[in-house]
C-alpha cells in the first residue's frame, strides 16, 4: 500500500492532502502542487485529470519543489499507485540462494515490433549511443518496470512502462517516437 502527501506550497508548507489510492481528479483537494512527500510506494502523478498529460514517476522520498520531480509547472491533477512486484527468481547454484530482480525489455525502431531490435536489462543514459537511433516506435517490456525519458541523461518528459507490449509510441502516452534515455524503476 502506498502513501503520498501533496502540498500546495514549496518545502512541504500550506494546505496538504494525503492519498493512499488512485485518484482520477485531485482538483477538489488542492489548487496547485509545489511539493510532494512519498511515504511509500511508487506513484505516477499526472498534469491533467483522468491520468492524462505529462506524467512523473515518484518513488519514496521528498520532493520540496516541482523541479525536483522534473515538473514543468505546479499542476498535478491525478495520481496512480503502482505496486512494484518485479519478477524474482531463485537460483541457488548461480546466486547462492538469494533473490534477483529481473529487468528485461526489447525496443524496436519501427511500429508493430519491426526493424532493428535491441534487448536491454539495464539503464541506458543515451538511447542514441547504444541503439544508434533516437526513435523507439515499439517496445516489449518482459520484466520489471521502466521509465522512458524524452531527453538523454534521464531528463524531460517521463513515461512509466509496465510489463506488456507497446505496438506504437502512443501506447505509452508519447506524442512522438523520440526517446533520449530510459532506466529501471528499482524496488524499494
Q: Which domains does the chain have, with CATH numbers?
A: 3-82 (2.60.20.10), 100-185 (2.60.20.10)
Q: What pLDDT does residue 84 have?
A: 56
CB atoms near residue 174 (< 10 Å): 18
Mean of the per-residue pLDDT values for the chain?
A: 89
pTM of the model: 0.79
Q: What pLDDT does residue 72 have?
A: 87
Query: Which tens digits make up the pLDDT trace of 126-139?
Result: 999 998 889 999 99
Q: What is the mean pLDDT of residues 87-106?
A: 52
Please determine, for residue 91, whether its predicted confidence score (pLDDT) is greater than 50.
Answer: no
List own/partner pairs for 64-70 with CB under 8 A and 24 or more apart: 64/10, 64/11, 64/12, 64/35, 65/10, 65/11, 65/34, 65/35, 66/33, 66/34, 66/35, 69/36, 69/45, 70/155, 70/156, 70/158
Q: What is the mean pLDDT of residues 26-37?
A: 96
Amino acid at each position: 500500500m502506498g502513501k503520498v502527501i501533496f502540498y500546495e506550497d514549496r518545502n512541504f508548507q500550506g494546505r496538504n492532502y494525503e492519498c493512499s489510492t488512485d485518484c482520477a481528479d485531485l482538483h477538489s483537494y488542492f489548487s496547485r502542487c509545489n511539493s510532494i512527500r512519498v511515504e511509500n510506494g511508487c506513484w505516477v502523478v499526472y498534469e491533467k485529470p483522468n491520468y492524462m498529460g505529462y506524467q512523473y514517476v515518484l518513488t519514496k522520498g521528498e520532493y520540496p519543489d516541482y523541479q525536483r520531480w522534473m515538473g514543468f509547472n505546479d499542476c498535478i491533477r491525478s495520481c496512480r499507485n503502482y505496486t512494484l512486484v518485479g519478477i524474482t527468481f531463485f537460483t541457488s547454484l548461480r546466486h547462492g540462494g538469494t533473490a534477483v530482480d529481473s529487468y528485461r525489455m526489447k525496443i524496436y525502431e519501427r511500429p508493430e515490433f519491426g526493424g532493428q531490435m535491441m534487448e536491454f536489462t539495464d539503464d541506458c543514459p543515451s538511447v542514441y549511443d547504444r541503439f544508434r537511433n533516437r526513435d523507439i516506435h515499439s517496445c516489449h517490456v518482459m520484466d520489471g518496470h521502466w521509465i522512458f525519458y524524452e531527453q538523454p541523461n534521464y531528463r524531460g518528459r517521463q513515461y512509466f512502462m509496465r510489463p506488456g507490449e507497446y505496438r506504437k509510441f502512443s501506447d505509452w502516452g508519447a506524442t512522438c517516437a523520440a526517446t533520449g534515455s530510459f532506466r529501471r524503476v528499482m524496488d524499494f
